[in-house]
Amino acid sequence: MITLELVDQMRKRTNCSYEEAKFFLEKHNGDVLEAIVDFERSKSSARFINNDAKKQVNNLWQSVCALIKKGFETRVVLEGNNHVLINIPVNILILFTIFTSYIVIPLLIIMLMLGYKLSIVKSKGEVVNISKIIDNVTGNGLNKDPNVQQQKQEITVASEEQQNNYNEMTIE
C-alpha cells in the first residue's frame, strides 16, 4: 500500500510530482529507493532523447539555411543575341515558378524555342548550359553534323520519289 508519507519522501528527494511519485512507488511495491532510481533513470533517458531531437532539428535547420544560401549564390541566366535578358538567383525563380507557374513555364519554353540560351551559373563560376542539355535530349543538337544533314536530305528526296509513284528508291 502506498502511503502519503512514502509519496512525500520521494517528492522531497526527487522534486517529482505526486502523480510521478505514486506511479514509481506502485511500480516498485512501495520501495522508495528503487522508485527513486527508476525515476532518475527515466528522466536521464528522456533528457538524452530530448538532446538528440534538438541536435537533429538543429542539423536540419543548418542544412536548410545552407541550401537557401546556396540558392541565392546560384543564378539563372537567360541570354539572347549577345546580351543578358534575365540574371536572377535560383530561389527567386523558384518562388516565381511556384506562384505564377502558368506564366513562367510557358514563357521559358517559348524563349528556349526562339533560341534564347538558358544557363545556371554556380557560385564558383561553373556554368551549366540548360539549352544545350535540352537540345541533346530532344535530338536537335545531333543534326549539326553536315554528313547527317546530307543523309537526311537524300532520304527526303528518296521518299519524294516514292510519293511520285516511282518504284525506285536510292539511298547513298
127 and 121 Cβ atoms separated by less than 8 Å: yes
Of the segments 25-29, 139-143, 147-151, which one has the largest average pLDDT value? 25-29
Per-residue pLDDT, 50: 63
Position 160 confidence tier, pLDDT thresholds 50, 70, 90: very low
Residue 86: pLDDT over 60: yes
- Range from 62-66, 96-100, 135-139, 149-153 carrying the lowest mean pLDDT: 149-153
Residue 161: pLDDT over 70: no
- CATH class of the domain at 4-68: mainly alpha
pTM above 0.75, yes or no: no
- Could you give the dihedral angle defined by the CA atoms of residues 151, 152, 154 and 159, in that order, rounded to the nearest 10 degrees? 140
Extract the C-alpha cell encoding 125.
563560376
Position 157 confidence tier, pLDDT thresholds 50, 70, 90: very low
